[in-house]
C-alpha cells in the first residue's frame, strides 16, 4: 500500500507538472507577447487627436476611443498604423481587471517608457480603465497580440494636394488593418500607379489625375489586396473623402 501510495503521489505530481507545461505552451501558441501600458488623454478621449499616423481626429475617422499609441519598436516608422491589438492586464492582482480590450493603432509614443527596446502601449484613458482598476496604477504589465480589425463601412480615402500632387489618407481598413502598399488608377490610364508612403497612412503620387475617375488597390501586411474601381468620380475634389470596399 505504501509503495502504491508513493507511486500515486509521484504520478499526480508529474501530471500536474505536465498540465502546467501544457498551459504555458498553449499561451505561447495563442500568440501573446508581453509588454507594458499607460494612458493619455481624458475619459472623453480628448488629448488623443492628431498623431503621427495622420488620422487627425480619431472620432472623425471612426476609431473613437478604442485606440492606442505604440512605442518606437512596435510602431516601425508608421507601418503599424491601422493595425489592431487585443490586450489584457497581466500578473498584477492589485490593479488588473479581467477581460481584454481591442484597439487600433493611431499614433506613436516616443521616449520614456516607449523608448527602444520597450514594447509599450499608450492607451486612451477609457480603454486603460477597462482592464485596470484605477488610473493610479501607472505603468501596468500586459499581454498583447495582433488581431483582426473589424470596421464599419468601407475603406476611406481622404484627398489633399494640387493638380500635380495628390496626397491620400487611407483609413478605416479592416482585416489586417495596416496598409503596406497602395496603387491608384485613373479611368484614362492603362496601368496602375504605385503610390509612395508620405508619412503614417498618407500616400502620395505626383501624377496629374484631375478629371478622371479613380480606383484604388490596397494591400495589407498579411499580403491580401482589395481592388475598388470608381471610388472617386471624375469630378472628385481636394478636401473630400471617398469610400471604397473593405476587407
**In 10 A of CB 126, how many CB atoms?**
17
Listed in sequence order, the DSSP H helices in the chain are: 2-29, 72-75, 125-131
Residues 38 and 93 in one domain: yes
Lowest mean pLDDT among 26-35, 96-105, 196-205, 232-241: 26-35
Looking up residue 57, the CATH number of its domain turns out to be 2.40.40.10
Residues 183 and 107 in one domain: no
Q: What is the pLDDT of residue 84?
A: 98
- pLDDT tens readout for residues 162-216: 999 999 999 999 999 999 999 999 999 999 999 999 999 999 999 999 999 999 9
CA distance 44 to 115: 27
pLDDT higher than 80, residue 5: no
Residues 142 and 168 in one domain: no
Q: What is the pLDDT of residue 40?
A: 94
Q: What is the pLDDT of residue 44?
A: 87
Question: H or E stretch including 145?
Answer: strand 140-147
Q: What is the pLDDT of residue 48?
A: 87
Domain end residue (candidates: 147, 171, 189) = 147
CA distance 76 to 207: 28
Assess if residue 24 is contained within a domain.
no
Domain assignment of residue 194, given as a range: 156-243
Residues 135 and 199 in one domain: no
Assess if residue 8 is contained within a domain.
no
Average pLDDT over residues 28-51: 85
- pLDDT tens readout for residues 131-148: 999 999 999 999 999 999
Assess if residue 21 is contained within a domain.
no
- pLDDT tens readout for residues 150-166: 999 999 999 999 999 99
Residues 46 and 134 in one domain: yes
Domain end residue (candidates: 119, 147, 175) = 147
pLDDT higher than 60, residue 3: no
Assess if residue 9 is contained within a domain.
no
Average pLDDT over residues 113-127: 97
Q: What is the pLDDT of residue 61?
A: 85
Looking up residue 197, the CATH number of its domain turns out to be 2.60.40.760
Residues 142 and 160 in one domain: no
Contacts of residue 20, defined as CB under 8 A and 6 or more positions apart, other chains included, come to none
Assess if residue 130 is contained within a domain.
yes
Q: What is the 3-state secondary structure (H, E, C) of 57-82?
A: CCCCCCCCCCEEEECHHHHHHHCCCC
Assess if residue 220 is contained within a domain.
yes
Assess if residue 199 is contained within a domain.
yes
Question: How sure is the predictor about 23, in pLDDT bands with cuts at 50, 70 and 90?
Answer: very low
- pLDDT tens readout for residues 51-94: 899 999 888 888 999 999 999 999 999 999 999 999 999 999 99
Domains contained in the chain, number: 2
Question: How sure is the predictor about 4, in pLDDT bands with cuts at 50, 70 and 90?
Answer: very low
Average pLDDT over residues 103-113: 95
Q: What is the pLDDT of residue 30?
A: 61
Residues 130 and 169 in one domain: no
Q: What is the pLDDT of residue 14?
A: 31
Domain end residue (candidates: 147, 165, 180) = 147
CA distance 121 to 45: 16
Assess if residue 16 is contained within a domain.
no
Residues 134 and 160 in one domain: no
Residues 140 and 181 in one domain: no
Amino acid at each position: 500500500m505504501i509503495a502504491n501510495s508513493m507511486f500515486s503521489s509521484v504520478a499526480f505530481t508529474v501530471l500536474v507538472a505536465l498540465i502546467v507545461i501544457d498551459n504555458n505552451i498553449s499561451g505561447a501558441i495563442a500568440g501573446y507577447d508581453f509588454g507594458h501600458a499607460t494612458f493619455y488623454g481624458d475619459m472623453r478621449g480628448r488629448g488623443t487627436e492628431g498623431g503621427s499616423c495622420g488620422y487627425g481626429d480619431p472620432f472623425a475617422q471612426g476609431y473613437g476611443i478604442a485606440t492606442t499609441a505604440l512605442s518606437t519598436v512596435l510602431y516601425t516608422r508608421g507601418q503599424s498604423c491601422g493595425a489592431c491589438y487585443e490586450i489584457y492586464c497581466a500578473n498584477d492582482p492589485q490593479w488588473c481587471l479581467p477581460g481584454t480590450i481591442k484597439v487600433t493603432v493611431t499614433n506613436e509614443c516616443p521616449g520614456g517608457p516607449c523608448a527602444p527596446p520597450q514594447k509599450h502601449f499608450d492607451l486612451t484613458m477609457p480603454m486603460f480603465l477597462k482592464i485596470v482598476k484605477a488610473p493610479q496604477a501607472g505603468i501596468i504589465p500586459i499581454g498583447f497580440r495582433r488581431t483582426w480589425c473589424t470596421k464599419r463601412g468601407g475603406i476611406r480615402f481622404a484627398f489633399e494636394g494640387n493638380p500635380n500632387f495628390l496626397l491620400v489618407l487611407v483609413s478605416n481598413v479592416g482585416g489586417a488593418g495596416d496598409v503596406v502598399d497602395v496603387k491608384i488608377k485613373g479611368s484614362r490610364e492603362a496601368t496602375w500607379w504605385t503610390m509612395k508612403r508620405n508619412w503614417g497612412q498618407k500616400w502620395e503620387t505626383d501624377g496629374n489625375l484631375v478629371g478622371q475617375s479613380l480606383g484604388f488597390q490596397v494591400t495589407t501586411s498579411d499580403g491580401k489586396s482589395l481592388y475598388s474601381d470608381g471610388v472617386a468620380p471624375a469630378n472628385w475634389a481636394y478636401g473630400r473623402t471617398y469610400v471604397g470596399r473593405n476587407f
